[in-house]
Structure 1
Amino acid sequence: MKKKLIAALLISSMAISTLVGCAGKGKDGTKDPDKEVTKEVTDAPKTEDNKEKEGGSGDTVTQGKVLNIYCWNEEFKSRYTDYFEKAGKLPEGIEVNFVITPNENNAYQNALDQALLNQESAADDDKVDIFLVEADYALKYVDTDYALDVKADVGLTDEDLANQYQYTKDIVTDSNGIQKGTTWQATPGLFAYRRSIAKDVLGTDDPVEVQAALSDWNKFDDVAAKAAEKGYKMLSGYDDAYRTFSNNVSAPWVDGTKIVIDDNLMRWVDQTKAYTDNKYNNKTSLWAPEWSADQGPEGKVFGFFYSTWGINFTLLGNALATPVSEGGKEEVGNGIFGDYAVCQGPESYYWGGTWICAAAGTDNLPLIKEIMKTLTCDAETMKKITEETQDYTNNMKAMDELANSDFQSAFLGGQNHIKLFAEAAPKIDMSNISQYDQGLNESFQGAFKDYFDGTVDKDTALDTFYTSAIEKYPELTR
């Protein structure tokens, strides 16, 4: 019966077309090119026959010949290749197969759902071994038997996981309190602002002084008005501030079966409407060409809410006049490289991240344990990732060492942004996460765009939201 319920959950999820966080985006902020799934995979949660031998605490285990990893882009592949395989940790005779399905129109989740539903009947070499998930839909998978306990099944210990940020554990903890995934990333958010614009509007570009001017939403609104007087926009578009509000709600989206719109989300609605009416934004949407252009040399926007990956990859790429792919260099003189800095902004939040889950039915538990331990628990490996890529990693010890060092970001004018991320990450609260976050957040944002543009009133936008929400989740009520 439990498997039938899980299957129903996965099948119903296939019908929902969504786009979340950085899913489906390349490191330059553009959509990944379409790729074919590299291998077709089919079925398998744990059975009573294999449950015992899969134990991660010294039980007898088998080692398969093929490790199938389901993901939606090349990011984890690069981390695995550079910091695990090149470190000589892959046993001889093991083939690693990345099954990459771009996440356009929910294609990745659909492919993964089908593979997990077919897992039990799949040949050993075709089984899903590792699959990756994002925060907004993690509970869809970790709150089922399709994802294994990273401690009891995989074999990681409390000591292994001790230095990971708590919120990264909470996101992949099921309703029984069992952690079902682990990640090499932590993705706290900051406010990235143009130094030159801050000097013109506030008389300073110093991160401490700029933070003092933006430390709460009332101050943020005051600076938006000052920026407008100087001919600048405070934000680019409708969605820029959304996650700073949605990450700080007082309760989950759903109470029983009733959809509950948190007051903090309505504060986002009211602020965005005011910014649109007062011309404090450019009326763009996330990932649109106009939004990306606002981050570049011709942009007149004070700043952008971005998390770790966004600053070091997307924002940096958009800031260059000549892209690296066209021969440009990441250095001062190319566009506005060096003209950005970061501060905490008015509220703590996070955006994005990728979690590694072990699939029930895998015959590669020893290798999965070693991958998880190396890439998500080993302080030296994680410190090296940050030093070489500026990706913020999920190890408090490693990040605190860099926060208190002379580490610098040339892109951010020599600022040690790791220090700010290290201060922000422990403040992230995931106590109100739910399996409905992805779909309802997207419906909510989409429903209010006509209201911001002035073509419908607020009540009509609310009705549009409820209609969209219940179409996605028929079990819910308003």
Structure 2
Amino acid sequence: MLMKTCTKCGATVENEAKICCNCGNVFPEKRPFSKAGVAGFICSLSAVALVPTILISYFFIIVIFDLYNLNTFFMLLGAVSCLAAFVCCILGFFFSLNGVKDSRKNNLRGQGMASTGLVLSSVLGGICLTCVAMLVAQAVLLGALLGTLLNSPSSSGSSSSSSRSSYSDWEYERRLTETTTYTEETWSEETTTEKWTITYGTGPEKIDLWSFTDEIPKMVGEYIDLHPEFGEKYTVECTIIATDGGAYQRALDNALAAGGDTAPDIYSAEAAFILKYSKGEMSQFASTYKDLGIDVDKKIKEADIAKYSVDIGTRDGKVVALGYEGTGSVMIYNAEVAKDVFGTDDPAEIEKIVGAGSGNWDKFFKAAEQIKEKGYVAVSGPSDLWNGCEKSADTPWVVDGELKIDPKREKYIDIAKTIADNGYSNGAQQWSEPWYTDMKGEGEHKVFAFFGPMWLIQYVMIGNSGYWPGKGEGTFGQWRVCAPPVGFFWGGTWLLANKDTDQKEGVAELIEWITLDTSETGLQYLWANGIVDWDNDPSTTTSKDTVTSAVVMAKSDGSLDFCGGQNVYPAFIAGNKYASAKAMTQYDEHINGYWTDCVEKYVDGTYSREEAIEEFKKLVMDNITF
């Protein structure tokens, strides 16, 4: 006969008995679980569930160290997860401990569950406490690094030494609430801009330089590192104002118009608005390079400076601005696709297949049909060909105050439609997530080619190729470059000097070193070989970039791992030569936007071809005054 023991008096009774015959204790149908034990086990499991989040956070912090963006986010995520897990462990420990005692004392179920919770909470609690301590330490380190970067003071009474590793000859100041007011004809706007000032050198003579990024100011610092005597003679104060909302242009226009000490001696302009300052309404403030004492025509010829860069900076036959970064573009093609489709990935052979330098897209579209037959697409989207169509035009958008549609720009409406109707692309737009996905080779169909300058490779494609250092994932290493069917440039920055500057000698020395010096200590050579060192730290030298001088690129190392070790500079030299600026106007940025928007609506069926063109004309006439 089966027997059981009364939990109240200890008497032995029959297993079927519902009441103890000795003390009257009522036997439950089933022994209940210890509530404390269950609670402790659940809390411990919650701590365990947070472990993946903690591990992921640490993975990104350690493997992908991004000082300003991801690292801060994942440190915060890791800290919150650790703290939450630690709280769960504390609760789990106390509940589980009570659960063990309760189950033993009252013969309740769940003793094993409570014991498990006790072990888990004890072990994980210690780990979490250690992790929190490590995150706090790393946060302190990050704060120290940021403090060093943002608050590096100049040393009072510093010597003439130009070493920026100790920040002894320059000061860095950030002004966040500089308010400027600008009035133009019938409108006025008050804006709050972010203004940065960097000062290099300690000399008695002052040069004011204005820019919209810290790129050119850092070049000045590099020059003083190489030529400390310049820093002993001059103090170069660099003002940086972002282009957001047109803030830089408004501030620069005000300063140039005011003149005197307010106006900069040197200023920069990017491709989107350079014509305003080199040929347009603000060009009267720019000095010719010849007036600065630069033998510009001779040096342009000796350096073989890209013609498009010279044309953009020429006013009435005289050079007033030159760029330094070569933005002539190439065709960036996938070698694996090329081999599968054409049986070769040799750049010289691919150039023949796509009609490199022909000035038209005829051969490229014949190749696109072959690419499609193999299950690939020629381009990510129709917009990849727009820059070539736009920059190869022979006639500007505006001629004698009238809107003109050059045949090469008008042809883009048919090119875009052909690409869409024939399935030659994945339909992605530039700067969209699908565009980036295609760079990684994970779009609907693998893409054969992208078109663009070196900066597209270095600052967009490499980061979106799926590459992890040393692992070779994604499409990294699969790409090659060759001259494009239609030449164009995309972007760039030009340097100008104020005609009223009283520091012509110093201004000329800086501008000539940045834009025309072809020596191995000139900016362009350092830039092309990836050895510009902003802060005397070898780990922070610049990436290789193309320059405007063909002479410099011809003697530089243009090999890129991203392109399988190919020397890409011969293709970019050709890209610079094919690029043209003859059809540019200061209105292009807005007009281009209206045209591409209307083309997209034609492609998706919203407009007919004629309706798209008429809508484009209406948008331009209604919104832009020539």
Cα separation, 2, equivalents of 1:454 and 1:472: 25
Matched, 1:210 2:350: yes
Deviations 1:108-132 (A, max 9, x none): 3233223323334xxx2x4322221
Q: Pick from 185, 197, 219: which aligns with 2:337?
A: 197
Secondary structure at the counterpart of residue 602 of structure 2? helix
RMSD of Structure 2 on Structure 1 (CA) = 2.9
How does 1:246-325 map onto structure 2 within 5 Å? 246-299=390-443, 300-322=446-468
Where in structure 2 are there 5+ consecutive unaligned residues? 1-182, 198-202, 531-542
Distance 1:297 1:73, change over 3 A: farther
Aligned pairs (5 A) from 1:18-417: 36-38=194-196, 65-82=205-222, 84-89=223-228, 90-92=230-232, 94-120=234-260, 124=261, 126-143=262-279, 144-153=283-292, 155-162=294-301, 163=303, 164-174=305-315, 176-215=316-355, 217-299=361-443, 300-322=446-468, 329=469, 333-380=472-519, 381=522, 382-388=524-530, 389-402=543-556, 407-417=558-568
- Higher strand residue share: 2
SS of the residue 2:442 aligns to: coil
Instruction: Quote the Cα distance in structure 2 between the aligned partners of 1:264 and 1:188.
Output: 18
When residues 172 and 412 of structure 1 are mapped into structure 2, their CA distance, relative to the original with a 3 A threshold, is same
Structure 2: how far apart are the matches of 1:72 and 1:289? 27
CA distance 1:248–1:224, shift in 2 (3 Å):
same
TM-score normalised to the size of structure 1? Answer: 0.78
Q: Counterpart of 1:420? A: 571
3-state secondary structure, aligned to 1:448: helix
Secondary structure of residue in 1 paired with 2:332: strand
TM value normalised by structure 2 = 0.60
Q: Which amino acid aligns with 1:362?
A: T
Distance 1:259 1:360 in 2: 33
Q: Give the Cα separation in 2 of the matches to 1:287 and 1:73.
A: 21
CA distance in structure 2 between the partners assigned to 1:457 and 1:279 by the alignment: 20
Return the structure number with greater helix share: 2
CA distance in 1 between counterparts of 2:186 and 2:564 reads: 44
Change in Cα spacing, 1:173 to 1:407, as seen in structure 2 (3 Å) is: closer
Q: Secondary structure at the match of 1:109?
A: helix
- My pick for the range that moved more, 380-389 or 335-344, is 380-389
Report the AA paired with residue 171 of structure 1.
I
Kindly state the Cα deviation for residue 412 of structure 1 after the two structures are TM-superposed: 0.8
What is the one-letter code of the residue matched to 1:165?
A
Q: Taking structure 1 as reference, are residues 118 and 417 closer, same or farther at Cα in structure 2, changes over 3 Å only?
A: same
The question of whether the paired residues in 1 share the 8 Å contact of 2:382 and 2:427 is answered with: yes
Measured after TM superposition, the shift of residue 397 of structure 1 is 2.2
Write the distance in 1 (CA, Å) between the matches of 2:554 and 2:187. 41
Aligned to 2:614: 463
Deviation track 1:229-267 (CA, whole Å, cap 9, x = no partner) reads: 333322122321112112222222222121110111121
Alpha-carbon distance between aligned partners in 1 of 2:471 and 2:574, rounded to the nearest angstrom: 28
Higher Cα Rg: structure 1 or 2?
Answer: 2
Q: Is the 8 A contact 1:187 1:307 kept in 2?
A: yes
Displacement of 1:296: 2.0
Structure 1 unmatched ranges of 5 or more: 1-9, 17-33, 40-62, 323-328
Aligned residue pairs total 411
Identity %: 28
The change in CA–CA distance for 1:289 and 1:104 in structure 2 (over 3 A counts) is farther
